Amino acid sequence: MAAKILYTSKGNDPATITWPPVGPPSDQVKLTSGQPLSVVGLIGYGDGTITYPDGRLFPAVSLQGSSFVHQKS
């Protein structure tokens, strides 16, 4: 399983971000705005949501309004 994550930065969020900002390093991903990244171990769904294998939601929006969505191939 893998999710293809597309990060789109907004507000004061940087072009490259580690997401989510807190939590174990194994749960975090380094993303660059506008560059889809396929991440093994996450699950992407047709509605754009992303989850960890245990069912926890991968946060979809930062405090600044940046978005993190599963992009279908």
For residue 51, with 0-12 CB atoms within 10 Å meaning exposed, 13-18 middle and 19 or more buried, which class applies?
A: middle
Angle ∠(2,24,70) on CA atoms, nearest 5:
25
Query: Mean pLDDT over residues 42-48, rounded?
Result: 95
Q: What is the distance between the alpha carbons of residues 52 and 47, in angstroms, rounded to a whole number?
A: 15
Query: Mean pLDDT over residues 50-56, rounded?
Result: 97
Query: Mean pLDDT over residues 32-57, rounded?
Result: 96
Say yes or no to pLDDT of 73 above 90: no
Would you place residue 8 in the very low, low, confident or very high pLDDT band (cuts 50, 70, 90)?
very high
More confident residue, 73 or 6: 6
